[in-house]
Amino acid sequence: MIIVNARFLSQPVTGVQRFALEISKILKQKLKNKVFFVTSPGVIHHELANELDAKVIGVNKSHLWEQLDLYAYILRKNKPLLISFGYTGPLFYKNQIISVHDVAFIYYRETFSKAFGFIYNFLVPKISKKCLHVLTVSESVKKEVCKELDLPVSKVTVIYNGISGIFKNKNKTRKSKKLNKPYILTVSSHHPRKNYERLIEAFHKVNNDTIELYIIGNFVGHFSDNIKTNEDKRIHFLTQISDEQLVEYYKGAELFVFPSLYEGFGIPIIEAMSQNLPCVISDIPVFREIGDDSVIYVNPKNTNSIAQGIEKGLKLNRKINDYPKIDNFSWEKSANKVIELLSKYHDLQNE
């Protein structure tokens, strides 16, 4: 059998969990009884757990669950192929595939809690050396993973993130979110490398007093320094936004801005592109990889550059007809690549 480490069912959805749940849904559809999902106690995505027919095992949670409960379970099951769509799995288990979405835990270690930084910097390098194969989400990160974790290029496969079905409405006419004033939108969890402080400073420099800024994203506990809200009435922090609500915010925005200092991919960018929204994004390698000539690139460390990018983007007046690269990012294509990789380590035909 193939077992999927479905600990993501007990975690709030950020980019890592989005990758896991979207790929898992397609694996379940295509592989049916050839793949089994096991998860830890504390499931919060109950509907998805039912869709995947996920089995709750063990008594522990988090990394302790992976190292004790999950490890004991797969040993009892005669050491099947295990795939983890998060960064970690059982430390001493060789017959597994893991996913490393970025190396922020190395490059930005000081911005995470001490416990989180220690666990990831201890576990990920060791597991990635021992496991069969490593997945990552962009060519840019693949280079970093191979360098920082000292892995051969042949051991790492790029599986792009995709666009969820709810964003695929082909109607090019965007409905405006019913808000009082036009607004700029950014979407991300609250981590210092998302660069919100410079974004807010740049926003204050924009020569437009009527525009507002909406920052959508949840605060995440293991980050050691969360962004602090302010009293500017033109800036709005929104949390716990559903996918249905998020689509509306994209459709109603004048501009999407994402001046992150570092990313493994950047799902919000392709979500904004799917809605034909003008995009102002950081000039970093991974964004050059997923973006194209229709976006506006800015220096994320320079607030004047960000402000100028916003002003330039607002002058486009939402006239982006198409993003040629958008068809590259499909969960279906990505899941097929995962299945192709699985078939190299597991006989899917004769089950």
Evaluate the CA torsion angle 155, 160, 161, 165 in order and state its sign: negative
pTM: 0.90
Can you say whether residue 78 is alpha, beta or left, with left for phi > 0 and alpha for psi between -120 and 50 degrees? left
Domains in the chain, CATH or no CATH each:
2-162+330-345 (3.40.50.2000), 165-328 (3.40.50.2000)
Give the residue-averaged pLDDT of 61-77: 96
- Give the rounded percent of residues in the chain with a pLDDT score beyond 90: 74
The pLDDT tens digits of the residues spanning 260-316 come to 999 999 999 999 999 989 999 999 999 999 998 889 999 999 999 999 999 999 988
Residue 349 has a pLDDT of 59
Residue 231 has a pLDDT of 66
Q: Report the candidate in 258, 114, 238, 234 with the shortest Cα–Cα distance to residue 181.
A: 234
For residues 264 and 101, is the Cβ–Cβ distance under 8 A?
yes
Q: Report the candidate in 5, 50, 23, 82 with the shortest Cα–Cα distance to residue 333.
A: 23
pLDDT at residue 171 is higher than 80: no
